[in-house]
Amino acid sequence: MNPSDEEKLTRWIDGDLPDAEAEELLGRYPELRGEKEAAQKLAGLLKSELGKEQDIPFPDFFNHQIQRFIEEEKQSGAPHAAYGEATEKSLFPWFTFWRNLAAGAFLLLLGFFIGTAFLDTDGQEGSTVLSAYTPNPAVASKLFYSDAARATVLLLDGLQAIPASHTITGHDTANYRPGTSGMVPALYSVGKETAYVLVKDEAQIPTVYEVDLAVPPLRNAL
Amino acid sequence: MRTAGALAAFLFPFFSLTHGLRAQETSAISDAKCWGALVYAHDEEPAGASVDGAVEGDAHFSGISARLSKVFSEKHFALLGQHTQDIFREYESWVVPSKELFLKVDSKGPAETGGMQLHIQLWHDKKVIVKTDAILKHDSPLFIGGPKWREGRLVFVVMLANGG
C-alpha cells in the first residue's frame, strides 16, 4: 500500500472519504471491507456489553495493563516490523494492531467487571461495599446485605484453604500513631507482651513479623 | 512461637536500623477509628471450648458473634485477634489483629450519606485477597468471609469504632 492509499484508508475509516474514492480503494483492496466489518462488530460488542457508563475499578491498574499490552505488542514486532514485509499475513498490519488492542482492552475490561462485584446499595442504611475486586481469578466474591445481622457481607470463595497444621494466632493490638513520613512503627499488643513489626519490601509488599517482647534485646530495641 | 521469636530477634536489629522504629510520632490527623477482628468460625466440639491462640472476647464481641451467627452456618466464633486503629487522613493505616490476615486502610474522607469512605485491602501471605471501596457506618459491620482453616473458616470483621 502506498502512502496515498494509506491516507485514503485513514479517511475511509473516519468516514471522510467520498463514496467514489472509497469504492475505488475497496476495488483494489477488497480485504479492507472485512477488516472494517470485524472492527465494527467488535465496537458493537463493546457497546452492548458495556452499555452504560461506569467507572473502571482501579483505573491505575487498568491503565498499567493497557500500557503493558501495548509494550508487548511493540516488542513482538507488530505492527511496524511486519509492515511492508513480503511474508506478512495481513496487508494492513497496523489495522490489525488496533483491532487487537481494542480486543485486548475489551477482554481486560470484561475481566475487571467479572472480577469486580458491585452491590446495589439503593435504600441500604448500613455500611456499603461499592466494589470488590479479587486479583486472583480463581476467587469469586459475593456481596449482600444481611438484614438479620444488620451487616454487609463479602464472601470470598475459591481461596486456597490454610493447612490445618498452620497455627494462626492474634493479639489485642493497640492503636498506633504513624512515625515520620507516615512510617508504621511497631504495633504493640495492649499488654505490651508482643509487638508486630510491619515491613514492606521494595515492591511495597508488606510482611508482618511478630516480636516476643519477653526477649530482653527486643524489648530494649522497641 | 519460639522459632518466630528467634527469627524476629535475628531480624530486628536490621529493621531498627533501616526503618527507624524509634522515629518520632507525627501529629497525623485521624479521620476515624476502625475496629478490625480476625474470627475463627467453626463447628469444633465441645461447644464453647476455647481455641488455641484466641483472645478473650468482650461484650462488644459477644454482640458481633451473635450477628455473625445470622450469616455464617458455623456454630462458634472465636476471636483470634482484634485491633482498634485510627485511620489517618494523610497516611495509610494498618489494622493488624494477626500477622496472618491484616488490612491496609486508606481514608477517602467522610461520605455524603454519612459514615466514612474507605479503600480497604485484605492481605494474606504477601498477597492481596480482595480490594474494596466501601462506606462504613457506625454499628454496621462488614463481614469478609475468608479462607477455610481447620474445621471452619476465617472471617475478618471490620467496622467503625466509637470515637471515630
Q: Residue A117: which pLDDT band, with cuts at 50, 70 and 90?
A: low
Domain that holds residue A85: 3-117
Are A53 and A136 in the same domain? no
Q: Are residues A9 and A109 in the same domain?
A: yes
- Is residue A173 situated within a structural domain? no
pLDDT digits (tens, 9 = 90+) for B100-158: 999 999 999 999 989 999 999 999 999 999 999 999 999 999 999 999 999 999 999 99
Q: Does B15 lie at the interface with A, CB-CB under 8 angstroms?
A: yes
Q: In the prediction, which pLDDT does A146 show? A: 95
A13, part of any domain: yes
CA distance A137 to A133: 10
Going by the DSSP 8-state scheme, the letter that residue B79 receives in this structure is E
Write the residue in A152, A170, A179 that is nearest to B142 by C-beta: A152
Same-domain check for residues A38 and A63: yes
**Could you say which of B13, B88, B100 has the minimum Cβ distance to residue A178?**
B88
Confirm whether A209 is domain-assigned: yes
Q: pLDDT tens digit string along B32-82? A: 999 999 999 999 875 444 566 667 777 889 999 999 999 999 999 999 999
**Residue spans of alpha helices (H) in chain A:** 3-14, 19-28, 31-49, 59-75, 93-115, 216-221
Indicate the helix (H) or strand (E) that contains B104: strand B101-110
Q: What is the DSSP string of B105-162?
A: EEEEEE-TTSSEEEEEEEEETTEEEEEEEEEEBBTB-EEEEEEEETTEEEEEEEEEPT
Cβ B34 vs Cβ B152: under 8 Å: no
Q: Which residue of B has its CA nearest to A174?
A: B83
Compute the count of residue pairs across chains A and B with CB atoms less than 8 Å apart: 242
A113 with A129, same domain: the answer is: no
Pick from B1, B2, B10, B19 the residue to mutate for testing the A interface (most A CBs within 10 Å).
B19
> Of B163, B110, B161, B145, whose CA–CA distance to A173 is shortest?
B161
Question: What are the residues whose beta carbons fall under 8 Å from the beta carbon of B1, sequence distance 6 or more?
Answer: A169, A212
pLDDT tens-digit series, residues A49-70: 554 555 555 555 555 555 655 6
Q: What is the pLDDT of residues A3-16, one digit of tens each?
A: 788 778 778 877 78
Interface TM-score (ipTM) > 0.90: no
Please tell me if residue B4 touches chain A, with a CB cutoff of 8 Å: yes
Question: Are both A127 and A105 inside the same structural domain?
Answer: no
Q: In this structure, are A87 and A158 located in the same domain?
A: no
Assess whether A75 and A106 both reside in one domain.
Answer: yes
Domain ranges of chain B: 29-160
Residue A221 has pLDDT above 60, yes or no: yes
Residue B12, CA distances (Å) to A174, A182, A190 in order: 20, 20, 20
Q: Give the minimum alpha-carbon distance from A136 to chain B in angstroms, rounded to a whole number.
A: 7
Contacts of A164 in chain B (CB under 8 A): 149-150
In a domain, A174, yes or no: no
Closest CA relative to residue B69, chosen from B43, B45, B95? B43
Residue B13: is its pLDDT beyond 70?
A: no
Q: Do A149 and B28 touch (CB under 8 A)?
A: no
**Is A183 close to B20, i.e. CB distance below 8 A?**
yes
Cell 508487548 -> residue: A72
Neighbouring residues of A213: CB distance < 8 A, sequence distance ≥ 6: A192, A193, A194, A195, A219, A222
Would you say residue A84 lies in a domain?
Answer: yes
Tens of pLDDT along A25-42? 888 888 787 777 776 776
Neighbours of A84 (CB within 10 A): 10
pLDDT surpassing 60 at residue B21: no
Averaged confidence pLDDT in chain A: 74
Nearest to A208 among B70, B99, B115 (CB): B99
Q: From CA A145, how far away is CA B142, in angstroms rounded?
A: 9
Give the whole-angstrom CA distance, residue B27 versus residue B93: 14
Measured CA angle at B149 (ends B132, A138), to 5 deg:
50
Q: Are residues A34 and A7 in the same domain?
A: yes
Residue type present at position A81: A
Nearest to B30 by CA among B110, B79, B70, B88: B88
pLDDT, residue A43, reads 64
CA–CA gap between residue A6 and residue B147 (Å, rounded): 56
Asked if the structure places residue A197 within a domain, the reply is yes
Q: Are residues A161 and A193 in the same domain?
A: no
Do residues A61 and A132 share a domain? no
Does residue A98 share a domain with residue A194? no
pLDDT of B14 > 50? The answer is: no
pLDDT at residue A197 is higher than 80: yes
Which tens digit of pLDDT belongs to each residue from A136-182?
A: 999 999 999 999 999 999 999 999 999 999 999 999 999 999 887 77
Lookup: cell for A180: 515520620
> Domain total for chain A?
3
Give the Cα separation of A83 and A93 in Å (integer): 6
Do A141 and A212 share a structural domain?
no
| pLDDT number for residue B47 | 47
State how far residue B97 is from chain A, nearest Cα, in angstroms: 6
- Please give the Cα distance from B96 to A109 (Å, whole number): 33
pTM confidence score: 0.65
